[in-house]
Amino acid sequence: MGHLFRLAVPTIGASFMQMTYNLTDMLWLGRLGENAVAAVGAAGFFVWLGISVLLITRVGAEVGVSQALGRKDTPQAMRFVRHALLWAIIITAAMATVTYIFAPSLIRFFGISSVSVNTNGAAYLRIVSLAFIFSFVNPTFSGIYNGMGNSRLPFWYMTIGVGLNLVLDPLLIFGWKFVPAMGIEGAAWATFGSQMIVFVTFVYRFVIKEEMGKLHLRQFNFDRIISRRIFSLGLPVAAESGLFAIFGMILARFVAQYGPVAIAVQSIGGQVEALSWMTASGFATALGSFTGQNFGAGFWDRIRKGYRYTLFIGTCLALPVSLVFIFFGDDIYSLFFDQENSQYLGGVYLSILSVSQLFMVYEITTRGAFNGVGRTIPPALTGIIFTGLRIPLAYVLMQIPTLGLFGIWWAISITSVFKGTISPLWFRRVLNHHDGEGAGFPASRLIVLLPSRLRQQWFIKKK
């Protein structure tokens, strides 16, 4: 299990580096007011959507490479690498073009009444779309490294970009000496510059120096089977995350009815919540690589132990975060806003989400385990169904006079509890199928939930 932990820590660090980009933007933009934060928050949904789509190539590379290496098939692993990078570039170019052209219309989707929020949001989104080729392909590079069992190098490469962003953000937002103050657009250009440096580092180290192995790019031949495998592995995860982003946009449209302050509070809350989300994702990525290699080698006992170990670590991390959200939510928001009303709303938002932090960690961790065994549909299906239920549930709860805006946030937390309960039960069903000793949660305990006719068929099949 030490190998799993060593793989997870750099991955978590790289995730926190990505989170630092957004938090840095929000910290400095908060000094410009809630409208500035709301504008960037609205644009951020489309960046989120783009990153979700590029999970196709990231997950496809992680799983495909790790399983090939588990089978000691290095040439096959390199074929996955070459095709994942090709598709990442193609998809990114298409998304950047569409986003740049339709940026004003995309921001107007939220129905925010403030003209400045709509104008600044569109300007920010257009600049950021120019950086898509960097910020979207970088995760695919990270996925390749993770699949090869080296999560340490992507962490250091991401650190370079974060360090540059920490310097460029205040410099370009507020200006200094000969550098003019660019406000919201300055934050976008800071992201552009820092992500470009990370991309150049990945290209130089991985493609030119070939530090992880010979790529043989001149021998590249397009392989439909490899491409189909990448999409079959990554598409369910990308579909779930993409729909998650779309559902988030619809919820943001609901939130926008309560004004730009509510949008700003939820945007910052999403970044703060990333503390546990990114941690869980780091362990899920490590678990996916660990599981993929052991799946390729047929070591189910190691898969089982790795999953249990990761859930235990996730529990130890999620519970303190929940306590911090409950007791220090207002204090956290005081770092971003001076207004007491904004701080109060932020404290309520984090208190509501504290209920679901543990379950969110379980759901994300289990997704990594599913990805490792090449079964990406079960977690995607669970996520899509219950995330989709947020829309009608939020609509109903926000009609209750005593809830209003808080009803939308309760819908998010409640559905996370369901996802974090069902996904682990489903994966334990998979483990039981390969466990002669019946470890884990026996499916027979769940059989009482089935209709009587299905129960009879199950018992007949067991006999």
Q: What is the pLDDT of residues 361-386, one digit of tens each?
A: 999 889 888 888 878 788 888 888 89
Three-class SS of residue 179?
A: strand
Three-class SS of residue 245?
A: helix
Q: Judge whether 37 and 27 are in contact, CB under 8 Å.
A: no
Averaged confidence pLDDT in the chain: 82
Q: Judge whether 131 and 164 are in contact, CB under 8 Å.
A: no
The pLDDT value recorded for residue 105 is 92
Angular region, 428: left φ>0, alpha ψ -120 to 50, beta rest: alpha
In this structure, which amino acid lies at residue 112? Answer: I
Distance CA 233, CA 56 (A): 7
Reported as a single tens digit per residue, the pLDDT across 252-307 is 889 988 888 888 888 888 878 877 777 787 778 778 878 877 887 777 888 888 88
> Between 102 and 284, whose confidence is greater?
102
Q: Which of 35-49, 283-297, 334-348, 398-412 has the lowest mean pLDDT?
A: 283-297
Three-class SS of residue 452?
A: helix
The pair of structure tokens assigned to 6 is: 């060593």
The pLDDT value recorded for residue 90 is 93
Nearest C-alpha neighbor of 207 from the set 193, 217, 220:
217
The pair of structure tokens assigned to 449 is: 């939930």
The pLDDT value recorded for residue 437 is 39
The pLDDT value recorded for residue 411 is 95
Reported as a single tens digit per residue, the pLDDT across 152-211 is 788 888 888 888 988 898 899 998 888 888 888 998 899 899 999 999 999 898 888 877
Distance CA 399, CA 393 (A): 10
Task: Tell me the mean pLDDT in the region 328-352.
Answer: 88
- N- to C-terminal Cα separation, the chain: 37
Q: How many CB atoms lie within 10 A of CB 46?
A: 23
Q: Judge whether 429 and 443 are in contact, CB under 8 Å.
A: yes
